[in-house]
Amino acid sequence: MKTILFQGDSITDCSRNRDSAPNMPAHLGYGYPNLVSAQLLYEHAEDMYRCINKGISGNRVVDLYARWKIDALNFSPNLISILIGVNDVWHEANQNGVESDRFELVYRMLLEWTKKVLPEVKLIIMEPFALPSDVVAGEFMPEVKLRAEIAKKLAGEFDAVFLPLQEKLDAAARRNSNSYWLWDGVHPTPAGHRLIADAWLEAAKPLLKD
């Protein structure tokens, strides 16, 4: 059995049912983890994938680190997908964000810990993203971009697949409005989740061959 773990914040959580079993629709939530898992479970029925969603709405990288043992390492996943960073910016409105240098420090600690416990694990580090909106204004976009650059840097350091998403969303926004893809500038619509899922499946192809 191959275990794929999706980790992150509300963009990953998507109202998942905490009491439901892996692979079940309620467990996976309504977003990209569900779409990705549906495709994998259909195409790789013989491989017995176990798809787990442990995203939690509102999480910052420090929250991820605090629960990493029980919500990641203890599952001994074959592949871990991580999308984190936007709340580290957003929560600064309430004076509880995570500054970029501390974001990098904690994210690196998390990845070092992961590689020490699970040296063979494969990693997908997803780029945090946003699109301008009533909520996303001022310094929001530059700060998200800064954390995206850190995520890309860490992916290179830890032999992870980096999944760029900002350029894909920028291109999509030329087809229709920003809110068509991210309804508030951060959280994906159905079309936005489809875009992310397709990008994820393409990026994961070399990791799923073994």
Query: Is 184 noted as a catalytic residue in this protein?
Result: yes
What Rg, from alpha-carbon coordinates, does the chain have? 16
- Amino acid 193 reads H
The overall pTM is greater than 0.85? yes
Q: DSSP string covering 152-196, please?
A: HHHHHHTTPEEE--HHHHHHHTTTS-HHHHBTTSSSB-HHHHHHH
Active-site residue among 57, 100, 179, 184? 184
pLDDT of amino acid 91: 87
CATH architecture of 2-207: 3-Layer(aba) Sandwich (3.40)
**Looking at the predicted structure, is the pLDDT value of residue 139 above 80?**
yes
Residue ranges of domains in the chain: 2-207
Active-site residue among 10, 27, 63, 81? 10
Q: What residues have CB less than 8 Å from 32, skipping those under 6 apart?
A: 11, 12, 14, 188, 193, 194, 196, 197, 200
Query: Is 187 noted as a catalytic residue in this protein?
Result: yes
Active-site residue among 27, 63, 88, 187? 187
Percent of the chain's residues with pLDDT above 70: 99
pLDDT tens-digit map of 7-64: 999 999 999 999 999 999 999 999 999 999 999 999 999 988 999 999 999 999 999 9
